[in-house]
Structure 1
Amino acid sequence: MAIPIAVTIAGSDSSGGAGIQADLKSFSANGVYGASVITALTAQNTLGVTGIHAVPADFVTAQIDAVFSDLAVAAVKIGMVAQRPVIEAIAEGLARWSPPNVVLDPVMVATSGDRLIDDDCIDALRTMLIPRARVITPNLPEAAALLDDAMAEDQGAIERQGAALLALGCEAVLIKGGHGVGPTSTDYLFSAAGPLVLMAPRIATRNTHGTGCSLSSAIAAHLARGEELDLAVGHAKAWVSEAIATADRLEIGKGHGPIHHFHAFE
């Protein structure tokens, strides 16, 4: 049987912990073949981002058409998109090729706190990409930014923001609770089937670089393998939780190190 194929459309992380590099590692660790469309180059490491170089929109289009015209793509993960013309190119590519599973991770701020997206892109995400997504995966600050709202601080506010994001046209919303407080990291999956709460112990480590990229890519991988959305999200969360729990074994970099994508293979 042919291996499922997933494609990441995102920015490159020169340190290897997030972005395209984390996505491809996540695809491999979760049993799918990974291809890529690069939207931006970043100069960054575990301490921060020192430069961003956007890929021209027409070359993003060329990459999309090259990949989709040849490979049987079962899922797409979309990450960092730094300019509106690139978002337009991606939206047009999705309309042209109609992949069955689109996971949108609205990356806006790096783990280090560096801003990664132009203000003009937020409206484009709302109107062009969110309606094409099977699931979007914002963290608490990203959900607030997409809605021009304050960050949710309790379950009621999270539920209200989840409903508001669903109203933008996607099939499901996963609001990630990693920026919350307390001993438990709680994520909320909102869809027509109702809310689903996913809980995991909050792990005391600073090595969380690429967590959001890796989670959304793992979800895409499990969707590519034919799993239903709730199972795909549950399996991805369990895998990334273990990748965070084992991250300190790697000892990479002087700042926020990467999670351990290949912990299951030790």
Structure 2
Amino acid sequence: MSEADGYFNEAVAADYDTSSAEMFQPEVVGPTVDLLAELAGDGRALELGVGTGRIALPLARRGVPVCGIDMSHAMTSRLRAKPGGEAVDVTIGDFATTRVPGAFALVYLVFNTINNLTTQDAQVECFRNAAAHLAPGGSFVIEVGVPELRLLPPGQTAVPFQIDATRWAFDTYDVATQGLTSHYVTLVDGRPQYRSYPFRYVWPSELDLMARLAGLRLRHRWEGWTRSPFTHESRQHVSVWEKPAS
């Protein structure tokens, strides 16, 4: 594994689009890009954790100038190889701290990417980095799941989220540290392969406090990209924080 690429190395990048195929469906990508394009308006957008370009590429096709930051050479090489990949200006680095030139109307993190930062300090720095890139009046958007702790009975730490004939996947939680590890067991040619990835889960209220520390204020919180209301039963949220205009 390349240290620079972290957990998103060549082996992961090679089948990322296939293993996450449901996230590339038009009914998922379309509403996401619709809302992000609206928030970007006539300005530029910056994606933190741009990956293989699932959202950056269709957003650029809408006419929004898009830049991206990502630590993985393997993932971003897939982005550059796709049609239109040259339109997305990618910088290799840690999206919690890496700066790119200019100001942006929109900075965004999708598909639980904020959880890839495995300490609270790193997540706080991410908010500060986003705020530093935003022009006054700009928006910072995060899509992330609500921690599934309600599914854990006393003494249990694991929650399965995928079970089929060739793939088993489950999350394990450490509530003392807000640690979350996703585990995958996949049958390949009849032989099991195991992978695991560490994350840090984060609560909506905790994100709001991080935003306040960065000088941002909550503008919207929805259950998803179609702007359905966020409730106590919601399993994910799309939150929009705003940098004050003055």
What's the TM-score bracket when you normalise by the shorter of the two chains? 0.3 to 0.5
**Between structures 1 and 2, the one with greater strand share:** 2
After TM superposition, the score normalised by the length of structure 2 is 0.37
After TM superposition, the score normalised by the length of structure 1 is 0.35
Q: Relative CO higher for 1 or 2, CA cutoff 8 Å, sep ≥ 6? A: 1
